[in-house]
Structure 1
Amino acid sequence: MSHDSSSRRVVDGLRTLITSSTAGMQLPSTRALAATHGVGPVTVQHAIRQLVGEGLVETRPGSGNFVARTRAPQISDYSWQTTSLGPSRVDANPIGSSMLTVTADTISLHSGYPTDELLPLRQIRGALSRAARSSLAARRPHTAGLGELREWFAHELTTGGATTVRDSDVLITPGGQSALSSTFRALAGPGDAIVMESPTYWGAIAAAKQAGLTVVPVARGTHAPDPDDLATAFELSGARLFYAQPHFANPTGALWSDAERQSIMKVVRDHGVFVIEDDWAHDFGIDKDVTPLAANDPDGHVIYVRSLTKSTSPALRVAAVVARGPARRRIETDRTIDDLYVSGILQAAAVDVLTQPSWVTHRRNVRELLRERRDHLIRELGTHAPELTLTHKPAGGLNLWLRLPEGFDSETFATRCLTHGLSISPGAEWFPAEPTAAYIRLNFGGSHPDRFEEAARILADQLVPK
């Protein structure tokens, strides 16, 4: 029987089931439907997608598929907004694939967030409960953040570094993305240039474009950008900002060496510019621990950003910006205008978790779990998909960065993998300039480590010329 006829049979069967079901009722799992209709899971997923498009089925991430709740049709005309808004300041689709929502049955190697097993959820629940019962539940916190939390971030930077960081240098923000957006807006204006490594974090690219900045790329592979290239970028563009991820960069997992750190900082100081240090993976060191650039920055060239969201819980949208001098005042002004303040309950919960002895134990356990997952996925890829070239074995972070064979397009390849039940991140979206080759990013810190072998086999199958 052809694929089309099989899919139609599943669609017809599901329509019959939906007709006799109440709105909101959960449908059988993909595996159960495949067994019922004698087809493969991919055929079932095609049928589900068709019914979602028809408005008959709702997909709820992590829960499954449900009979859609009927809604009255509504037709609106938004064409007037085209003239009113004018040209867009961002790309048509600026949101990266790491934010994609997929079905529960899909093998998720695209996400930017670690799975529950790698989070201190028990401690988070207890901390949120205690914070909700405290006086902070009804009190507006200081615009710069709770003193105890700011003190913790300052202590983290001061320990092991040569620079004294005060709690008054710290601003608490609702997540790292918000911190980056505010910093870009506060320190540069529309039309100004910002230098970025290429490839780099898609969210930083999008935030810069949203702020009206012109992104100037400098090449970065498994090492830091070439200092001469960086100097040239500053001189030709007039940029005052350099966004960088020195430690376990997203998406590549690459790490600057000590010599590279010194060379880069010399260029930054010689040109009188700022480096915005995104220390997103501070808590995800596997083979190495790192000292941030900001810990050895006596003159305030480094604007330091560290988020707790990935290492504690997606519900704990708390991050910090560390800056000094007029730059700090500009960023605080932007933050206050944008959000006024960050929830005191979330800040208090963060302090609770971070100051418990269990936090140190948790980080040690996460290191071992990430090592197991990283090495497991590398082994499966080497066995089943040797055509993929691993650029390097990352010493920390959550991701592997792999090059596709010549002739492949990363976005097309990712789309084909998704139709076979595997979600990955195409490399093209991580480049602020044209990609130098076709890459993919695989997150080994997400769900389904028990399905790494299956994922590698799907990748291998899609590498076979069709």
Structure 2
Amino acid sequence: MSQDSSERIVADLRAWIATVPPGTRVPSSRALCAQHAASPLTVQKAMRALTSAGLIESRPGVGTFVRMAREHPPADYSWQTSTLGALQRRLPLTSSTQRAAAPDAIILHSGYPDRELLPERQVRAAITRAARSEAAVTRSHAHGEPALQAWFAGEVAQHTPPGVQPPRARDVLILPGSQSGLSSIFRAVVGTGEPMLIESPTYWGAIVAAAQTGVQLVPVAVGPHGPDPAEIEEALQRTGAKAFYAQPTFANPTGGQWSGELRRTVLELMHTYNAFLIEDDWAHDLAIDADPSPLVAQDDAGHVIYLRSLTKSVSPALRVAALIARGPAYGRITADRGTETMYVSGLLQNAALDVVTQPSWRTHLRQMRQQLRHRRDQLAAVVHKHIPDAHLEQVPLGGLSLWLRLPDGTDPNELVRACEVRGVVIASGDEWFPAEPSGAYVRLNYCGPDPERFPEAAQIIAQALAGIRT
């Protein structure tokens, strides 16, 4: 039996435990094997999971029983009130995309691709090779492994037009994931208390990073094809902001992509106002019907600070990303990173470099593109069929999710709760807005497990939506 089988046994026993009093004897392993047509190893795995969760306990020589409730006095954390002092700035809550889901739930909220979309065999082999190398026992370079720096620089150079100087390896800083890069950029380049333009809606992690670093956000509304350059210019003039955080390629959560004309216009504005464009190219490897075209490839004057992560295309276990910057900005950011993390694991860097330099990497990207297209189209089709009251503003050309507008007056958080009770986990759109939401939205990811359950999920969402609107 598979891992999925043990999870089903756990789910069934959890439901049964909720209906019986503490101390009830749990059916024997032999009985569970027969009931679930499972192997003894699968049943043992399920029993270990329930024991770890504190739901059952084994009494040697007697049997296994539903665990008795234990009374514990409530912990007293009141001492922390005076120690921590007043909360100076209220941070956004942890994203709903990070919450755990029941084993049998339909998962449409997570932002990480299912393992079947990843180059699992190549990743395992690369980690094994890295573990046998010197990288397993030595400290890596502070700015990153030179070969990996050169690879990221070369990726941008492929898009660099004639007459523009492509970035060099020494312009690249390797990061333990792009989220930490955002915090360093905001601290080192923008500064506490200073304004920064940001698309609205946008990546929730950028909003959190800004709150943590004390940056004052200036929202700029975006439509299906990006922001209005006139609004960007007006905001730059009005606030004096010297930075603009944006996702020009397959934005999260909308999936929008800037046109070539918009890219050129925004870059000209950055030049005119001596400002930085913080380009988050998170979905570079997640193209479906359009190819990525990083703005950093068109800029050699240091106006674009570029971020790209391999976490979603290689493996969530290899949190390796890169930042490209030029001039004094690079020095300020690297100084901040040096005091924050010192260096990134050389073992992880070597494993990531191994994967992306194998001939099979390009094959993997082509296959992932086909799989994402099929999943995106399948989810979009069942949304149109079963949730006609909702509006899909655009079918994204890349990325991992659909951005769905709900009927006016709908509370997306109430819908999230109603869906989760029915076994479907989705993400409220509210957390992607740096200010008040411009409408009621939810984000539905098509990268998770069990895409064959999309029709079932859409029907459940429709039922939940009807229920909260009556």
The normalised TM-score by structure 1 is 0.86
Contact 1:55/1:68 (<8 A) preserved: yes
User: How far apart are 1:93 and its partner, in Å?
Assistant: 4.4
- Aligned residues of 2:23 and 2:68 also touching (Cα < 8 A): no
In structure 2, the residue matched to 1:213 is 215
Q: Report Cα offsets for 1:19-50 as digits up to 9, x if no partner.
A: 4349xx9xx8xx98xxxxxxxxxxxxxxxxxx
Secondary structure in structure 2 of the residue aligned to 1:15: coil
Q: How does 1:223-372 map to 2 (within 5 A)?
A: 223-372=225-374
Q: Check conservation: 1:196, 1:217, Cα contact below 8 A.
A: yes
What's the counterpart of residue 413 of structure 2? 411
Specify the alignment match of 1:45 in structure 2. none
Question: Percent of aligned pairs with the same residue?
Answer: 50
What is the distance in 2 between the residues matched to 1:13 and 1:391? 43
**Structure 1 residues 12 and 449, CA gap change in structure 2 (3 angstroms):** closer
Match of 1:137 in 2: 136
| In the alignment, structure 1 residue 20 sits paired with structure 2 residue 25 | yes
Q: What does residue 38 of structure 1 align with? A: none
Amino acid at match of 2:264: Q
Dislocated runs of 4+, deviation >6 Å: 66-72
Q: Shift of residue 12 of structure 1?
A: 7.0
> 2:148 maps to which residue?
149
Preserved contact between residue 89 and residue 209 of structure 1 (Cα < 8 Å): no
Match for residue 160 of structure 2? 161
1:272–1:89 distance in 2 versus 1, CA, 3 Å: farther
Look up the match of 2:426: 424
Q: CA 1:212–1:364 in structure 2 vs 1: closer, same or farther (change >3 Å)? A: same
Residues 66-121 of structure 1, C-alpha deviations (whole Å, 9 max, x = no match): 97798884643322323333343554542111111111111000001110111011
SS of equivalent to 2:225: coil
Distance in 2 separating the partners of 1:276 and 1:303: 5
Aligned to 1:95: 94
8 Å CA contact 1:307–1:320 kept in 2: the answer is: yes
SS in 2 for 1:304: strand
Could you tell me how far 1:235 is from its partner in structure 2? 2.0
Q: Which residue of 2 aligns with 1:436?
A: 438
| Alignment check: 8 A CA contact 2:25 2:66 kept | no
Q: Which residue of structure 1 lines up, in the alignment, with residue 83 of structure 2?
A: 84
**Residue 380 of structure 2 corresponds to which residue in structure 1?**
378
SS at match of 1:309: coil
Give the Cα–Cα distance (whole angstroms) in 1 for the partners of residues 215 and 54 of structure 2: 39
Structure 1 pair 362–21 and aligned structure 2 pair: CA distance change class (3 A): same
Q: Which runs of 5+ in 2 are unaligned?
A: 1-14, 37-49, 58-64
Residue 154 of structure 1 aligns to which amino acid in structure 2? A
1:215-267 per-residue CA deviation (whole Å, 9 max, x = no partner) reads 11010111221112111212222222211000000001011011111111111
Q: Deviations 1:331-386 (Å, cap 9, x if unpaired)? A: 10111110010001000001100100000000000000000000111111111111
Q: Would the aligned equivalents of 1:95 and 1:203 in 2 still touch at CA under 8 Å?
A: no
User: Distance in 2 between the 1:234 and 1:346 partners?
Assistant: 39
- Alpha-carbon distance, 1:186 to partner: 1.3
> Following the alignment from structure 1 to structure 2, what is the Cα–Cα distance between the partners of residues 89 and 397?
35
Alignment partners' CA distance in 1, 2:69 and 2:330: 51
Question: SS at the partner of 1:220?
Answer: strand
Q: CA RMSD in A?
A: 2.7
Q: Measure, in 2, the Cα distance between the counterparts of 1:241 and 1:74.
A: 51
Contact 2:143–2:174 under 8 Å retained in 1: yes
Matched pairs, number: 428
SS of the equivalent of 1:401 reads strand
In structure 1, C-alpha distance between the alignment counterparts of 2:220 and 2:108, rounded to whole Å: 27
| CA distance in 2 between partners of 1:67 and 1:334 (Å) | 51
Structure 1's 453 and 350: CA in aligned 2 closer, same or farther, altered over 3 A?
same
| Per-residue deviation, residues 393-417 of structure 1 (Å, max 9, x unmatched) | 1100001011101220111111111
